[in-house]
Amino acid sequence: MAPIIEVQNLNVWFGKSRILKNLSFDIEPKQVTAFIGPSNCGKTTVIRSLNRLNDLQADYRHTGEILFNGKELYSNKNRASEIARKISMVFEKPILFKKSIYENVAYSVRIRGRRQMSLINNIVDECLMKVQLWNDVKDKLHTDPNFLSIGQQQQLCIARALAADPEILIFDEPCAQLDATETPKFESILQSLKQQVTIIFVTNKRRQAARVSDVAGFLYNGELVEIGKTEQIFTTPTDTRTENYVTGRLG
Ligand SMILES: Nc1ncnc2c1ncn2[C@@H]1O[C@H](COP(=O)(O)OP(=O)(O)O)[C@@H](O)[C@H]1O
Ligand SMILES: [Mg+2]
């Protein structure tokens, strides 16, 4: 299968600081790709470049090529709102609308232009099931999501993203706010979703990347030191910096 994202010689600047240095990599469809590396190495900047969230940042500039399904992601033909729907981002802290659980998810169905109530209801139910939240909320769909735990709120954010029918789901440190009991559930959701959607996530939890990803890329100081099959990166890395990081000697 052709890569869903192709990045060639990506350099990113914020003002005069060069943050990313000559990154080249492909993202394969229906796989889980993890970017790992210590704080401030550029993980968030990479994934924000992949869904044009950096457009909002006045001093952002990049050179190089980012293709999404073979077409220039930053072409003027792509509307940022459409990109945000197809390449959806779930943040570290769950950010929900001040609306009911149902409305949080139904919103994403409506922005796809679907208006039929029975269809919206079906998609809402289905997305809540896919994120393993259905049993917890099925009797409370029309209440405010405030009573949910942080982990459940994160599940609801994922359901809302799925309801927009994205091609890629991107997660930035998705478990940073979760407690130890919520993390395994998140990891199982991630695994089950990859049949439907391409997943990219960023983490500074090495073992989580080792457990969940198919492909792992190690970033250090704005450089993509190495990217490859997760097993290879964690067992036989080619670069000593990668080896030092995955074994815990670095970062
Ligand atoms: N909006 C910004 N303006 C200026 N510098 C930034 C901005 N965002 C990030 N940086 C800098 O870019 C570097 C990489 O940051 P980031 O991508 O957030 O790293 P990570 O997610 O790996 O912690 C850091 O040195 C950070 O200070
Ligand atoms: Mg970050």
pLDDT tens track for 129-153 = 999 999 999 999 999 999 999 999 9
pLDDT averaged over the chain?
A: 94
CATH code assigned at 109? 3.40.50.300
Q: Which own/partner contact pairs does 233-238 have at CB distance under 8 Å and 24+ positions apart?
A: 234/206, 234/210
Q: Is 63 a domain residue?
A: yes
Output 177 or 10, whichever has higher pLDDT: 10
Closest ligand (CA of 57): 1
Q: Do residues 218 and 49 lie in contact, with contact meaning Cβ atoms separated by under 8 Å?
A: no
Mean pLDDT of 82-97: 91
Structurally, the chain folds into a number of domains equal to 1
Summarised one tens digit per residue, pLDDT across range 97-130 is 999 999 999 999 998 888 899 999 999 999 999 9
Q: Is 251 a domain residue?
A: no
CA of 199 to the centre of ligand 2 (A): 17
Say which DSSP state 146 is in: G
Mean pLDDT of 201-217: 94
Summarised one tens digit per residue, pLDDT across range 221-239 is 999 999 999 999 999 999 9
Distance of CA 251 to CAs 48, 69, 85, Å? 22, 34, 34
Q: Is 80 a domain residue?
A: yes
pLDDT of residue 137: 98
Q: Is 9 a domain residue?
A: yes
The number of angstroms, rounded, from the C-alpha of 124 to the middle of its chain's C-alpha atoms is 21
The rounded radius of gyration (Å) of the Cα atoms in the chain is 18
Say which DSSP state 72 is in: E
Q: Which tokens in the block code for residue 92?
A: 């570290």
Distance between CA atoms of 216 and 36, rounded to whole angstroms?
Answer: 7
Instruction: Give nearest CA residue, ligand 1 atom 20.
Output: 40
Taking a 5 Å cut-off on Cβ, the residues next to ion ligand 2 are 43-44
- Residue 159, amino acid: A
Q: What pTM was estimated for this model as a whole?
A: 0.94
The domain in which residue 91 lies consists of 5-246
Distance between CA atoms of 12 and 20, rounded to whole angstroms?
Answer: 5
Reduced to 3 states (helix: H, G, I; strand: E, B; else coil), residue 208 is: helix
pLDDT of 251 over the 80 cut? no
pLDDT of 170 over the 80 cut? yes
